Chain A
Amino acid sequence: GDSVTQMEGPVTLSEEAFLTINCTYTATGYPSLFWYVQYPGEGLQLLLKATKADDKGSNKGFEATYRKETTSFHLEKGSVQVSDSAVYFCALSDRGAQKLVFGQGTRLTINP
């Protein structure tokens, strides 16, 4: 079945560091790909998405490019802030499945 694999956490960085959180997927069709973010005590919020190969999703300085050849959707940010501390989830939705399949989440902590 469909699945998403994220890099193991937790990840701890200093403010202004470069961030990469790896995400790879397995799907039978041509999925849409998402990154969601969960701040402490809150629900999940959509951060960005991409619906087809080579699309780049971006929001709040975060970017991710849909790479069909490597089945990846890595999340990047050039300069992280303390306020980016959260849990990040990669997810996919396959054609016809009408639901999200999530990775295990990566906890990110940014130190001042």
Chain B
Amino acid sequence: DAGVIQSPRHEVTEMGQEVTLRCKPISGHDYLFWYRQTMMRGLELLIYFNNNVPIDDSGMPEDRFSAKMPNASFSTLKIQPSEPRDSAVYFCASSPSGGYSGNTIYFGEGSWLTVV
């Protein structure tokens, strides 16, 4: 069974450019999460979806960030315009239900973003 698939694995872009990160969750999972990992702030939840509907986007840093889930098998996280402080590892994760009740949340391998 394929895990959570993210692309690109690595991206280097110039400040001001648009960045789009992509995620394919595990088939049958109805929750999808976007996390960001940095040395300074650790792992932060940016947004999560249930059945393709955004449930909590309180972690999205600012209007430059947007996330969509047009269908059950695809989600994007977009940064426009990108800034050097956006450099981080962005993880997508999915779950057959929420993390509550001990159901496992499965993580992708991450998209390593560097903005120069």
Which residues of A come within 8 Å of B, CB atoms? 31-32, 34, 36, 41-46, 49-51, 89, 91, 93-105
Contacts and interface: CB of A to CB of B under 8 A. Distances in A.
Contacts of A41: 109
Which of A34, A44, A91 counts the most chain B CB atoms within 10 A?
A44
Given A94-B100, A104-B42, A99 B109 contact: no
Contact of A93 (B43, B93, B99, B106): B99
Contacts of A100: 33, 45, 99, 105
Given A93-B98, A93-B99, A98-B31, A44 B107 contact: yes
B107 A105 contact: no
Contacts of B45: 99-101
A96 B98 CA distance: 8
A49 B108 CA distance: 19
B98 A49 contact: no
Contacts of B25: none
A49 B104 contact: yes
Q: Which one of B43, B50, B108 has the greatest number of beta carbons of chain A within 10 Å?
A: B43
A65 to B, nearest CB: 15
A23 B39 CA distance: 19
Contacts, number: 65
Contact of A98 (B42, B98, B102): B98
Interface residues of B, number: 25
A41 B63 CA distance: 29
A46 B104 contact: yes
B109 A42 contact: yes
Contacts of A89: 43
A99 B48 contact: yes
B50 A98 contact: yes
From A42, A50, A100, residue with most partner B Cβ within 10 Å? A100
A99 B99 contact: yes
Nearest to B43: A102
Best-buried of B97, B107, B108 by chain A (most CB within 10 Å): B107
Interface in B36-92: 42-43, 45, 48, 50, 55-56, 91
